[in-house]
Structure 1
Amino acid sequence: MKKSKILLGTVILGIIGLITVAADHIDAPAAAGTSADITDFYAFQAEDTDNLVFVANVQGLLSPTATSTTVFDENVLVEFNIDTDGDNVEDLVIQAIPKDGKMYFFGPIGPLSTGKNSNISTMSSIKGEVAITAYGSNAVIGTNNSGMKMFAGPRDDPFFMDFARYGEVVGGTAPGFNNPGADTFAGSNVLSIVVEVPKSLVGTSGTINTWVEAKVKQ
């Protein structure tokens, strides 16, 4: 689970360019090698300042050869959780689940249940779908009548980390990081789920907490 905090409305206008990031790669053995393995979570204000963007990257460290044959697992639900009142319980969710070459989105909507278990909100009045972009193809962008935009497909891994040097620093054999360092993730890919949402569907002012979860169908 990745968790971040982002400001909305008039507050965010003073900090354009704010981006909240959480990342790790293949450190959950039960999820490693599947699209339940969350590598990165990003939440930021869109180019259209009336919108927010949420990004979940999963199944990291894919080589170009592996990327061309890797698909989203249809048994894995990716859920963006949004807490609007500061109690660290989701008040809204955006759910994304693949089926037959498309990614289906439901919400933002009040969750049918909170916590570790989720039910897919297929009856949500706010929903959309997009064809999953194939590796090496131009991005396919979906839209719906609520003003949302959606994408799902492989992307270059955006996270920078010099793992070898990190190990040396932590192990006490190096005084600090090199500038520039060596990008461990260079040339590797992830599967991305991206949704752009009007702030009016989330809240127009104040602060939200937001986190993403991957949940396997039982």
Structure 2
Amino acid sequence: MKKTKIILGLSLLAVTGLTLVAADHIDAPSVTNNASDITDFYAFQGQDTNNLVFAVNTQGLLTPGTTAAASFNENVMIEVNIDNTGNNIEDLVIQAIRKGDKMYFFGPYAPSATGKASSINTSQASGSVEISKYGQAPIIADQNGMKFFAGPRDDPFFFDLGQYQAVIGMTATGFKPTGTDTFAGTNVLSVVIEVPKSKLGTAASLNTWVETKKKQ
């Protein structure tokens, strides 16, 4: 599970240029190399400053040769949780789940239950988008004031794993000014949602985190 905090400012417009990210490739054996593995989560202000963008990346370390065969699982839901009251409990959720060749989105709306259990309120559908294919132009849907994307992307997270291991092993004292991108040349499967700030409440700050949940 990834968690981050977005400081919006009193006007909900004071995050120009702000990007927050949490990352953790290959969390645990039960999610390694499958649709449940969240590699990183980004939350930032959109090009339209009235909007926020949530980007969830899954299934990291995909090589160019394996990316085309990678797919979202119809039994795995991606859920962006939004706390706008400061109690670290989700007040709103945005959910995404694949059906066939499309990704369907629901919310933001108040969940019927918080924590591990979730259900989808199908009356709160916000849109859908055809899942983009590797090597082709990205498909972006614009519906109900929101924008959606689902499909493969180059892994955007930069991390020098070799130097990190050297620091941990005490054979180096720090990171280099220009490191080596361990994830260069690898891909992820991404879900991106752009949503008007007006749909997220009027709080001065938001706590956000993302989860993948398997259908029971």
Same fold? TM cut 0.5:
yes
SS in 2 for 1:123: helix
Which residue matches 1:118? 118
Quick one: which amino acid aligns to residue 34 of structure 1? N
In 2: Cα distance, 1:114 partner to 1:85 partner: 14
Which residue matches 1:181? 179
Is the Cα–Cα contact under 8 Å of residues 81 and 93 in structure 1 kept in the other structure?
yes
**Which ranges of 4 or more aligned residues in structure 1 deviate by more than 6 Å?**
none
Is the Cα–Cα contact under 8 Å of residues 5 and 206 in structure 2 kept in the other structure?
yes
SS in 1 for 2:123: coil
The verdict on how the C-alpha distance between 1:15 and 1:123 changes in structure 2, with shifts beyond 3 A counting, is: closer
In 1: Cα distance, 2:196 partner to 2:9 partner: 11
Which residue matches 1:190? 188
In 2: Cα distance, 1:28 partner to 1:39 partner: 11
SS in 1 for 2:17: coil
Quick one: which amino acid aligns to residue 142 of structure 1? A
Quick one: which amino acid aligns to residue 89 of structure 1? I
Which residue matches 1:62? 62
Is the Cα–Cα contact under 8 Å of residues 20 and 42 in structure 2 kept in the other structure?
yes
**Where in structure 2 are there 5+ consecutive unaligned residues?**
none
Q: How far does residue 8 in structure 1 lie from its aligned partner after superposition?
A: 2.7
CA RMSD of aligned residues (A): 1.2
**Where in structure 1 are there 5+ consecutive unaligned residues?**
none
Q: How far does residue 10 in structure 1 lie from its aligned partner after superposition?
A: 4.3
Which residue matches 1:109? 109
In 1: Cα distance, 2:14 partner to 2:86 partner: 21
In 1: Cα distance, 2:14 partner to 2:88 partner: 25
Which residue matches 2:25? 25
Is the Cα–Cα contact under 8 Å of residues 84 and 203 in structure 1 kept in the other structure?
yes
Which residue matches 1:215? 213
Q: How far does residue 13 in structure 1 lie from its aligned partner after superposition?
A: 3.6
Is the Cα–Cα contact under 8 Å of residues 67 and 154 in structure 1 kept in the other structure?
yes
Which residue matches 1:16? 16
Q: How far does residue 7 in structure 1 lie from its aligned partner after superposition?
A: 2.3
In 1: Cα distance, 2:113 partner to 2:35 partner: 22
Q: How far does residue 27 in structure 1 lie from its aligned partner after superposition?
A: 2.6
SS in 2 for 1:177: coil
